[in-house]
Structure 1
């Protein structure tokens, strides 16, 4: 599992083009890895929240500072979740 998460962590770090869609795709991949375990219910909830937040920020106008800040904040949270999962 850690190897898969490490690969996804690197992919999340590399997200640049159409970042909202790419990050949502990565979050979905992370969810697939941990979905079979009841241990990670909190992490799954956080990832679901991240996807919902990405949808909200994606709908804001391009160049909107809140859109940019929101994306960066969510990306950081996803990276933290991955790190926490790898350390568990």
Structure 2
């Protein structure tokens, strides 16, 4: 099994945008695995739309946190952090 480094990026596509009162929710699909990740607090000023290509970064969490295995960060093409979540 290949170990994932924090600097690794995984291509994903925006599949849905949810306009909330203060933030935009963004659902992305990772290209290779087909897995979905939801980011609830993205800046509404960003011009994101379905079909846009973004990138995921993954950081494994300590094993003591049983209910959460990793921190997943959403990045744009310039490696600028957009949002993050736990999975």
Q: In proportion to residue count, which structure has more strand?
A: 2
Indicate whether the TM-score tops 0.5: no
Is the helix fraction higher in 1 or 2?
1
TM-score, normalization by structure 2: 0.23
| Structure with larger RCO (C-alpha < 8 A, sep 6+) | 1
